């Protein structure tokens, strides 16, 4: 890993950020594999990426989600009122 970092610094400085991220990910996966915690790492990474994806989708479609939530709340209130009238 140290050799990869030095070679990255000497030969490909324009890819420094991506290379450092790749070296860090490789280090994390190797460390987890040697300690027998690879399943836990993959699960944690998957859950983290799912949360980030949900937040990005909520940011991109905020107004559409808000309209759907208001419509669902309105339909629930209407259904509750109709249920009271039937009693």
| Neighbouring C-alpha atoms within 13 Å toward the C-beta of 50 | 6
pLDDT in tens, 3-61: 888 888 888 888 888 889 988 989 999 999 999 899 999 999 999 999 999 999 999 99
**Predicted local distance difference test score (pLDDT) of residue 45:** 93
**Predicted local distance difference test score (pLDDT) of residue 50:** 98
Which residues are CB-neighbours of 8 under 8 A, at least 6 positions away? 15, 16, 19, 20, 23
Residue 1 predicted with pLDDT over 90: no
Q: Does residue 23 contact residue 8 with C-beta atoms inside 8 Å?
A: yes
| Rounded Cα–Cα distance for residues 17 and 19 (Å) | 5
**Predicted local distance difference test score (pLDDT) of residue 16:** 86
**Predicted local distance difference test score (pLDDT) of residue 58:** 96
| Rounded Cα–Cα distance for residues 87 and 19 (Å) | 68
Query: Which of 28-32, 61-65, 68-72, 77-81 shows the lowest per-residue confidence on average (mean pLDDT)?
Result: 28-32
């Amino acid at each position: 890993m140290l050799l990869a970092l030095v070679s990255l610094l000497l030969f490909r400085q324009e890819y420094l950020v991506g290379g450092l991220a790749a070296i860090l990910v490789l280090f994390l996966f190797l460390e987890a594999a040697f300690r027998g915690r690879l399943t836990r790492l993959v699960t944690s990474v998957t859950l983290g990426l799912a949360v980030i994806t949900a937040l990005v989708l909520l940011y991109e479609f905020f107004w559409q989600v808000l309209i759907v939530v208001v419509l669902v709340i309105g339909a629930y209130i209407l259904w509750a009122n109709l249920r009271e009238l039937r009693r």
